[in-house]
Amino acid sequence: MNGHGQARDDEGGAARLLALSDGVFAIAMTLLALDITLPAGLDPAGFERALGDVMPNLVAYAISFLAIAAFWRGHHEMFRYTREVDGTVIRLGLLSLGLVALMPFPTTLLAEYGDRPQSVAAYSGAVAAVGAAQLALAVVLWKRPWLGGEALPDSVARNDVADLASTVAVFTIAVPLAFVSPTVAKLWWVVLIPLKAAAGRRGKRLRAASRR
C-alpha cells in the first residue's frame, strides 16, 4: 500500500465487490418470498381464510423488498466514483452484505408476529444495522478519493451520508418505540417517505451540477 493507502493489486477492483453484492442482494430479495404460500386443496371458505392469513406476509415482503432495493441502489451509487477497494472497504462491504443476507429472518418475524414488540424491534434494528454499515462504507469511500478515478463531490457525498443517516436514525428510534407500541413504531417508519423524497431530489440536483 502506498502513502495514500491505495489498494493493493490482490485486493481487486470495485467491480468484483459489486458483482458479489448484486448476488447477495438478489438472493436476499428472493428468500423474502419463500414464506408466501397457500396450502393446496382448500375449499372456498378455507381459501379466503388462508388468503387473509397470508396478507401480513405480503405486506412484510413489500416493505423489506423496498428497503433492500433502496440499499442496493445506494450501494451502487456509493461506488460510482470508486475503481479500487482496500481492506477496510472490503470488510465494511462484507459486513453490509452479511446483514442484508439476514433480512429474511426479521421479515418473517414481522410477518408472523407483527403485533409483538420484540418482532418490530428486531426488524427495526436489522434495518438500522444495514443502514449503519452502509453509512460507514459511504464515509470511508468519501474520505478515500484515491480509490477512484475522480473525487466524489463533497456536496453529493454529504447528501448521501445524510440520506443514510436518516434511515439509521428513524429505525433506531423505532426499536425502543416498539416496546411502547408496535403499531406506533411501524407508523413511525413512514417518516422516511418525505425524508427520502427530499434527499432524492436534492441528490439529483447535486449530481447534475457536478457534471457541468
**Per-residue model confidence as pLDDT tens digits over 103-148:** 999 999 999 999 999 999 999 999 999 999 999 999 998 888 888 7
Report pLDDT digits (tens) over 156-195. Answer: 889 989 999 999 999 999 999 999 999 999 999 999 999 9
Report pLDDT digits (tens) over 44-98. Answer: 888 888 888 889 999 999 999 999 999 999 998 888 878 888 999 999 999 999 9
Query: pLDDT at residue 151 above 80?
Result: no
C-alpha grid cell for residue 104? 429474511
pTM equals 0.87
The Cα 9–Cα 16 span in angstroms is 13
